[in-house]
Amino acid sequence: MSLFSSKLLAWYDLNKRNLPWRHTNDPYKIWVSEVMLQQTQAVTVIPYYQRFIESLPTVFSLAEAEETVILKLWEGLGYYSRVRNMQKTALDIVKKYNGIFPNTLEELKSLKGIGPYTAGAIRSIAFNQKASAIDGNVSRVLTRQYEIESDISKPSVMKYLEQLNEPLIDDERPSDYTQAIIELGATVCRKTQPLCDQCPVSDTCLAFRNQRQSEMPYKAKKEPKKVLNFITFILLDESNGLILYQQKSRLLEGLYLLPQIESESLLYALEWLEEEGFKVLFNESIKTYKHVFTHLIWQMDVYYVKVIKPESIESVGNYQTKPIATAHKRILDQELDALMTK
């Protein structure tokens, strides 16, 4: 065992958080937690994970679930392609492996939505193999530990971090080692205001020694996010039935949204509603909402509109039962009750 590993594991044994996925080595449950933890903090993930596992406790139940069910369970986590890929992977595991999770790098990476990190995490955490799993937390620890100035968005640099990490993995406790280094990055070796005085490996950290923690990890600046301007409608029919559209676009496929059109002109947007078959009785401006995606920003001017709907369109009773995109669920949660009483 390396000195780095021994200090890290001793710290982890005393300081690890009590997270629900740490009480199992079921590869299905580890996989669910790892996919949920992509782009999302652990404290946010906990209730989603518990609800998902309670509803879909096995790879078989996920494979057989209706898409609306899995989208509803995922509602609020965003990046919905993750859960769609999970169901495709569950179907593959059931068909190709009789529901038994594979444990080799090649087999895992052949499955939809499982890349090098997730494959490494499953192998390490669930199967206790010496496998390197480099996420944002681990890359932060390693780049500071070794004072690496290279751009971590480059695949070659991530590969180098894997090579640095592999000899550090403890032979006896590879699962604990992976969880420990992730935990260190999440709670101590933080992106901003790292708690270096609480770090068990600060004495070997080159960035700490040279006071360069804030410079690492280095990542080249991204292009500015594209901004889309929408006129977004809360449409209620004469019986106060809410009108939602189910999306077929790749970004939010399968989710329900309020009717909206990319425009800054209310007149143009109302004409679009008429073309959709609605008779507009009156409209009222609500306010502007903004929702930030990974590469995109939606700027939404929201209007309440009373309509007579075409017979071909059904209104929604309780919108809470539908899988609704977070951008629009926030609008409904804040505005709909007051509009219903008008």
Residue 11 is assigned to a structural domain of this protein: no
What is the torsional sign of CA 136, 139, 141, 147?
negative
Q: Is position 262 within any domain?
A: yes
Place of tokens 């999306």: 247
- Looking at the domain assignment, is residue 113 inside a domain? yes
CATH number of the domain bearing residue 316: 3.90.79.10
Q: Per-residue pLDDT tens for 102-139?
A: 999 999 999 988 999 999 999 999 999 999 999 999 99
Choosing from 34, 75, 162, 183, the catalytic residue is 34
Q: How many domains does the chain have?
A: 2
Q: Do the domain assignments include residue 219?
A: no
259: in domain: yes
In-domain check, residue 178: no
Task: Assign 250 a pLDDT band (cuts: 50, 70, 90).
Answer: low
pTM as predicted: 0.76
Specify the pLDDT at position 254.
81
Q: Report pLDDT digits (tens) over 59-72.
A: 999 999 998 899 99
pLDDT at residue 251, rounded to an integer: 67
Instruction: Give pLDDT tens digits for 124-182.
Output: 999 999 999 999 999 999 999 999 999 998 999 999 999 999 999 999 999 999 999 99
Q: Give the integer Cα–Cα distance in Å for 200 and 7.
A: 6
CB 130 within 8 A of CB 169: yes
Check if 223 is active-site: no
Q: What is the pLDDT of residue 135?
A: 93
pLDDT of residue 76: 86
Give the domain extent around 289: 226-340
User: With 80 as the cut, is the pLDDT of residue 253 above it?
Assistant: no
pLDDT per residue as tens digits for the range 183-216 = 999 999 999 999 999 999 999 999 999 999 999 9
Instruction: Extract the tokens encoding 327.
Output: 């951008």
Task: Establish if 278 belongs to a structural domain.
Answer: yes
161 class by beta-carbon count within 10 Å (0-12 exposed, 13-18 middle, 19+ buried): buried
Give the 3-state secondary structure of residue 305: strand
Distance between alpha carbon 3 and the CA centroid of its chain, in Å?
34
| Proportion of the chain above pLDDT 70, given as a percent | 99
CATH number at residue 37: 1.10.340.30
The verdict on residue 209 lying in a domain is no
